[in-house]
A = this chain, B = another copy of it.
Amino acid sequence: MINISAGIDIGGTNTSIGLVDTTGQILIKENIATPTHGNIKIYIDKIHSTINDLLIKCQLSVDNLLGIGIGAPNANYYTGCIEEAPNLSFKGIVPLVELLKEKFPTKETIILTNDANAAAMGEMIFGGAKGMQNFVMVTLGTGVGSGLIVNGQLVYGHDGFAGECGHTVLVPNGRMCGCGINGHLETYCSATGIKRTAFELLAYYNAFESILANYSYSELSSKIIYEAATDNDFIALKVFEKTGQWLGKSLADTVHHLSPEAIILFGGPMAAGDLIIKPTKESMEQFLLPVFKNKVEIFCSKLPAGDAATLGASALVINELNT
Q: Which residues of A contact B (CB under 8 A)?
A: 83, 132-135, 148, 150-151, 153, 155-165, 167-169, 171-172, 179, 181, 249, 252-254, 256-261, 287, 289-292, 295
A156 to B258 alpha-carbon distance, docked (Å): 7
A151 touches B151 (CB 8 A): yes
| B161, B253, B291: the one within 8 Å of A169 (CB) | B253
Contacts of A181 in B (CB 8 A): 287, 289
Asked if B258 and A169 make an inter-chain contact with CB atoms under 8 angstroms apart, the answer reads: no
Q: List 6 A-B contacts (CB under 8 A).
A: A151-B155, A155-B258, A159-B291, A169-B249, A169-B287, A257-B257
User: Could you say which of B156, B167, B259 contacts A289, with CB atoms under 8 Å apart?
Assistant: B167
| Complex contacts, A161 vs chain B, CB 8 Å | 259, 291-292
Are B292 and A260 interface neighbours, CB within 8 A? Answer: no
Please, which residues of chain B bring their CB within 8 A of the CB of A83?
291
Of all A-B residue pairs in the complex, the 5 with the closest CB atoms, nearest first, are A157-B259, A162-B259, A158-B261, A168-B253, A134-B158
**Chain B positions within 8 Å of A132 at CB level:** 158
- The smallest beta-carbon distance between A254 and chain B, in angstroms, is 7
Could you tell me the distance between the alpha carbons of A254 and B179 in the complex, rounded to whole angstroms?
Answer: 17
Cβ–Cβ < 8 Å partners of A257 in chain B: 148, 155, 162-165, 168, 254, 257-258
In the assembled complex, the CB of A293 is this many whole angstroms from the nearest CB of chain B, namely 11
Among B172, B260, B292, which residue has its beta carbon within 8 angstroms of that of A171?
A: B172
Evaluate whether A260 and B158 lie within 8 angstroms (CB atoms) in the complex, with A150-B151, A253-B169 already known: yes
What is the minimal beta-carbon distance from A74 to any residue of chain B, in angstroms? 8
Beyond A159-B259, A164-B257: 11 further Cβ-contacts under 8 Å? Answer: A150-B153, A157-B258, A159-B292, A161-B291, A162-B257, A162-B258, A163-B257, A164-B259, A165-B256, A168-B256, A254-B257
List of B residues within 8 angstroms of A153 by Cβ = 150-151
Contact B289 A179 (CB under 8 A): yes
Cβ-closest chain B residue relative to A259 = B157
Pairwise interchain contact A150-B159, C-beta atoms closer than 8 A: no
Q: How far is the CA of A205 from the CA of B1 in the complex (A)?
A: 77
Across the interface, which residues of B come within 8 angstroms of A148, CB to CB? 257-258
A177 to chain B: closest residue by CB: B289
Q: With A169-B249, A179-B289 as given contacts, are A159 and B256 in contact (CB-CB < 8 Å)? A: no
Among candidates B133, B160, B162, B249, residue contacting A158 with C-beta atoms closer than 8 Å = B133
Residues of chain B with a CB closer than 8 A to A287's CB: 169, 181
User: CA separation between A249 and B172, bound complex, in Å?
Assistant: 10
Q: A150-B151, A249-B169 are in contact. Are A158 and B259 (CB under 8 A)?
A: yes
In the assembled complex, the CB of A178 is this many whole angstroms from the nearest CB of chain B, namely: 10
Which of A134, A162, A253 is most buried by chain B, counting CB atoms within 10 A of its CB?
A253
Which chain B residues lie closer than 8 Å to A290 at the CB level? 179
